[in-house]
Amino acid sequence: MREYWRVQKFYDKLWCARVSLPMRKTRILKRSFDVAIACLALLMTAPIMLVIAVGIWMIMGTPIIFPQRRPGLHGIAFTMFKFRTMAQGPGSDEERITSLGAFLRRTSLDELPELWNVVRGEMSLVGPRPLLMQYLHRYSKEQMRRHEVLPGITGQAQVNGRNALSWEERLAIDVSYVDHHNLWLDLRIMLQSVGSVLGRRGTSHQGHATMPEFMGTTTQPEACVPTGVVVQSQET
């Protein structure tokens, strides 16, 4: 954790040196909004999270929380927290996911522990979803720009098809968000996310529990990975 913030502080200095004052104000406003809403949401959803935790413990046992290293701002790794949705042991994702886990994914309730990541400053309420560490080597230079902002609990791709999109479509939407994000867009995405969850749209790609593995764009330029980032194979 200490190393994360040391590297993050270095990147923040570079960022402040090259962006305008209005952009800095937007970032401060977005962060203040994130913390206020995340703290309020944690308090309001605490009883729901307790019920979910008990359900996971009774059906799947421990652990209840699934921690996983994901790339955050500038591709720097952080530990993301989710409710566990799969049984332990061999088998594909489709075979290991439990009925409770499938329900949590359809309703996005498995994402609730990520509110703590928002409070810690590792995520935002809205932004490109944090994907797997091994994908960093597979992004094109343009696709890598999705890491110029904090990853989010929900994002523009999540309200425009979610896991039903192709990887190229999803990553292009992420980069578009980086170029055009503002507080009003975030509010609109948050409201649209409620509709997407209630409608249970795009929770999985055809033939997969979530999305097929991203292997890189077919005609992509040379991949770009931040200096010093260690890419690891991750459990899915």
Residue 160 near residue 176, CB atoms below 8 Å: no
Residue 24: pLDDT over 90:
no
pTM of the model: 0.78
Position 93 in a domain: yes
Better-scored residue on pLDDT, 59 or 162: 59
Position 172 in a domain: yes
Residue 204: pLDDT over 60:
no
Lowest mean pLDDT among 123-137, 149-163, 170-184, 195-209: 195-209
Separation between Cα atoms, residue 151 and residue 136, nearest integer Å: 14
CA dihedral for 123, 127, 131, 133, sign (positive or negative): negative
- Residue found by looking up tokens 């809403």 in the block: 37
pLDDT at 94: 82
Segments forming the whole domain that contains residue 73: 2-199
Position 109 in a domain: yes
Q: For the purposes of burial, counting CB atoms within 10 Å of the CB of 191, is it exposed (0-12), middle (13-18) or buried (19 or more)? A: exposed
Contact residues for 215 (Cβ-Cβ < 8 A; gap 6+): 138
Position 209 in a domain: no
Number of neighbours of residue 232 by Cβ within 10 angstroms: 10
What average pLDDT does the segment 72-77 reach?
94
| CA separation, residue 107 to residues 9, 121, 207 (Å) | 35, 24, 19
Residue 227: pLDDT over 60:
no
Q: How many domains does the chain have?
A: 1
pLDDT at 32: 93
pLDDT at 179: 92
Residue 186 near residue 154, CB atoms below 8 Å: no
Q: What is the pLDDT of residues 106-138, one digit of tens each?
A: 889 999 999 999 999 999 999 999 999 999 999
Separation between Cα atoms, residue 77 and residue 122, nearest integer Å: 9
Better-scored residue on pLDDT, 165 or 75: 75
Residue 229: pLDDT over 50:
no
Q: What is the pLDDT of residues 33-52, one digit of tens each?
A: 999 999 999 999 999 999 99
